[in-house]
Amino acid sequence: MERARESELQTIDEDVAAHRPEHMRPRARRPPRTFIFVLALAIAVVCACSGSGRRTSTNRSGGLAPSVSARPVGPGPAYRPPAVSAVVGRRATIDGLRCLASPGPRFGIHLELFAHRFVVHIPAGIGVAPPQRIRGVYVLGGKCSYPLRTLEPTGVVQVQRGNVLRLGVLFAVWGQRLDARRLLSFRGSVLGFVDGRRWRGPLAEIPLRRHAEIVLEVDGAVAPHPSYDFAPGL
C-alpha cells in the first residue's frame, strides 16, 4: 500500500523528493518485530483463505476492493487546479478565518481527490497569500497564511491547532466547489471516505482531525487508502 502511495506521489510530481527541505522529510524507521510477526500471520491467513476458495472480503460500494495500483494524474488543466483563489489573493476573511503572518503550530491531514479514476493534483500554496516564497515544487511561505494551507504538492494539508475546522472550509479557502454532485469542476455523484471508511453525511462536514486520511471520488470508484505516514511534527 505504501509503495503504491509513493508511486502515486511521483506521478503527481517527480520533483517532490529532490526539492523537499530537510526538516520536512520523514525519518526512516525500522519496522518493529511485532509488525513483522503480524504481517507474516496476516499473509498466512490470506493464503489459507485463498486456498479454501473463499474471498477474503466483499464490497458492495461500487467495487472498492483493496488495490495497490498507482494511478496517474488526469489529462488537462481540470486535473491541475490552481492553488491561490481570488479571495486569498485579496487576503480577505473567509468563513471567519483571517490571513495571519504567524498562524501558530499546526497538525496535518491528508487529502486525495479522484475524478474518472484519475488523480486530481492538489497543489502547494493553497491558503498562502502571494507573493509566495517558492523552492522547487514547495511553497515556503507568503505574505500571510490561513489556518488551512498546503506547502507541498502531496495532498498534505496543515491545519492550525486549536481550530475545529471542516472540509468545506478548506474548499472555501481553495476557491473550489464541493457538494454531493460537484467536485471542483467535475460533475457526478461524489463519494467521501475517512480513514478508509465511507462518509455518509454531507461532504463539507467532514471534520479535519489530526492525521485524518480523506478521499473524495467522482464518477469512478477507487480503493481509498486508510492512512498516511506524516512527517515528524505534523
How many domains, the chain? 1
Residue 195 — pLDDT band, cuts 50, 70, 90? very high
Please indicate, yes or no, if residue 227 is contained in any of the structural domains: no
Question: Residue range 182-191: average pLDDT?
Answer: 98
Would residue 234 count as lying in a domain?
no
Does residue 229 fall inside a structural domain? no
Mean pLDDT value of segment 3-20 = 44
What pLDDT shows up at residue 104? Answer: 86
Is residue 102 pLDDT above 90, yes or no? no
pLDDT tens per residue, range 159-181: 999 888 999 999 999 999 999 99
Asked if residue 228 is part of any domain, the answer here is no
- Cβ neighbour number for residue 52 with a 10 Å cutoff: 7
Q: How confident is the model at residue 55 (pLDDT cuts 50, 70, 90)?
A: very low
Q: How far is CA 53 from CA 56, 60, 65, 204, in A?
A: 9, 20, 17, 42
16 domain-assigned: yes
* Average pLDDT score, the chain: 79
Residues 6+ apart with CB under 8 A from 143: 91, 99, 101, 129, 130, 131
DSSP 193-223: EETTEEE-S-GGG-B--TT-EEEEEESS--P
Q: Which residue intervals of the chain are DSSP H helices?
A: 2-12, 16-19, 33-51, 86-89, 167-174
Q: Tell me which residue range forms the domain holding 25.
A: 2-218
